[in-house]
């Protein structure tokens, strides 16, 4: 049994409902035991560290210190890019700098040595033994009929000095996992560009195009589905789609933004693109039904695309 201390993150119980269900399904099938950290708390996400550096380090450290005390032999894993960034950075800083460790321990009132690693789901799913388990757990595959654009987001990769990511411009870990399920990853250009994160709420004017360009490029490069590894990215890309498409339907995005060069990019196609997390994709391939995964919770309907991809698979019942 492969075991990890698990930091679910706030989104897991709210906006990422379908993803959380898929996580439980998939990790149960592939023999990975996620042990929830007792009394975990919000990592501070995008807000805390802006207000106070100490708060931004102490919040994640509280959860990490609990995990270290309860399961000193387990690495910590989280399914959210933002949580991952905060936990990983805290771990990194405490390891690198004795002063930071002293400060954090003082605030927490308990020891925290950052002895174990902080990982994200992609790290776990990319393990060779886990990959073998995934292949074993598959009930049906997409047999090359589902073209997916794997979106990693910025915080799963950057800053590279902290995350240790090697393929900083063109990561392929998620592509390889998707390929196991018979999906075809497309070669596209926005794998690690920012989705706008929390700025979609407080700076909509600037942030909307950030998400829009990702959707645009994914569609241009022929993707049927956008895959994510973060509930925040998923929400931004999914929830804002209708609005983005409506606003830009008749407008060439290029002309207004780049007056001098006058190079006009084609307007975004007026179609929506479903957004799934990588674990949702795996769950479907492992036989989970749409109802069980609460696919109806998605803002952009998923059923049709998945059903089309699975239709001719005689071994399985049609999805939804």
For another protein, which stretch binds (CB under 8 A), given 53-61, 106-114, 252-260, 288-296? 252-260
Q: What is the DSSP letter of 109?
A: T
Total residues at interface with another protein (CB under 8 A) = 20
220 forms part of the interface with another protein (CB under 8 A): yes
Contact at 8 Å (CB) between 91 and 64? Answer: yes
Q: Which is nearer to another protein, 209 or 303 (CB)?
A: 209
Distance CA 282, CA 194 (A): 24
Among 62, 92, 216, 240, the residue binding another protein under the rule CB under 8 A is: 216
Distance CA 316, CA 189 (A): 34
Distance CA 310, CA 320 (A): 11
Distance CA 152, CA 231 (A): 11
In DSSP terms, which residues pair with 78 in a beta bridge? 7, 120
Binding mask 144-183 for another protein (x = CB under 8 A): -----------------------xxxx-------------
Contact at 8 Å (CB) between 48 and 59? Answer: yes
206 forms part of the interface with another protein (CB under 8 A): no
243 forms part of the interface with another protein (CB under 8 A): no
> Measuring CA to CA, which residue among 184, 185, 182 is closest to residue 141?
182
Among 189, 267, 287, 303, the residue binding another protein under the rule CB under 8 A is: 189
265 forms part of the interface with another protein (CB under 8 A): yes
Among 23, 156, 163, 217, the residue binding another protein under the rule CB under 8 A is: 217
209 forms part of the interface with another protein (CB under 8 A): no
254 forms part of the interface with another protein (CB under 8 A): yes
Residue 6 phi/psi, 5° resolution?
A: -115, 125
Among 35, 42, 108, 221, the residue binding another protein under the rule CB under 8 A is: 221
Distance CA 227, CA 244 (A): 19
**Which positions lie near another protein, rule CB under 8 A?**
167-170, 187-190, 216-217, 220-221, 254, 257-258, 260-261, 263, 265-266
């Amino acid at each position: 049994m492969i075991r990890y201390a698990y930091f679910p993150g706030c989104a897991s119980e709210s906006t990422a409902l379908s993803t959380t269900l898929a996580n439980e399904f998939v990790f149960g099938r592939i023999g990975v035991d996620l042990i929830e950290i007792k009394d975990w708390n919000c990592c501070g996400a995008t807000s805390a560290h802006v207000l106070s550096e100490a708060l931004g380090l102490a919040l994640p450290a509280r959860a990490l210190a609990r995990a270290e005390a309860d399961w000193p032999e387990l690495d910590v894993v989280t399914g959210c890019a933002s949580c991952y960034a905060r936990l990983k950075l805290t771990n990194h800083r405490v390891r690198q700098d004795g002063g930071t460790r002293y400060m954090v321990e003082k605030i927490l009132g308990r020891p925290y040595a950052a002895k174990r690693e902080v990982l994200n789901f992609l790290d776990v799913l990319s393990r060779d033994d886990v990959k073998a388990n995934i292949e074993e757990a598959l009930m049906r595959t997409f047999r090359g009929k589902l073209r997916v654009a794997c979106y990693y987001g910025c915080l799963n990769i950057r800053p590279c000095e902290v995350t240790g990511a090697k393929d900083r411009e063109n990561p392929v870990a998620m592509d390889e996992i998707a390929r196991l399920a018979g999906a075809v990853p497309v070669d596209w250009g926005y794998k690690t560009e920012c989705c706008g994160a929390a700025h979609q709420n407080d700076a909509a004017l600037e942030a909307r195009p950030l998400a829009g360009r990702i959707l645009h490029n994914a569609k241009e490069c022929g993707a049927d589905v956008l895959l994510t590894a973060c509930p925040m990215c998923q929400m931004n890309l999914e929830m804002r789609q209708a609005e983005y498409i409506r606003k830009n339907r008749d407008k060439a995005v290029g002309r207004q933004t780049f007056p001098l060069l006058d190079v006009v990019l084609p307007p975004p196609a007026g179609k929506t693109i479903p957004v799934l997390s990588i674990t949702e994709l795996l769950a479907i391939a492992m036989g989970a039904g749409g109802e069980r995964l609460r696919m109806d919770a998605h803002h952009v309907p998923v059923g049709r695309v998945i059903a089309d991809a699975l239709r001719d698979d005689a071994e399985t019942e049609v999805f939804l």
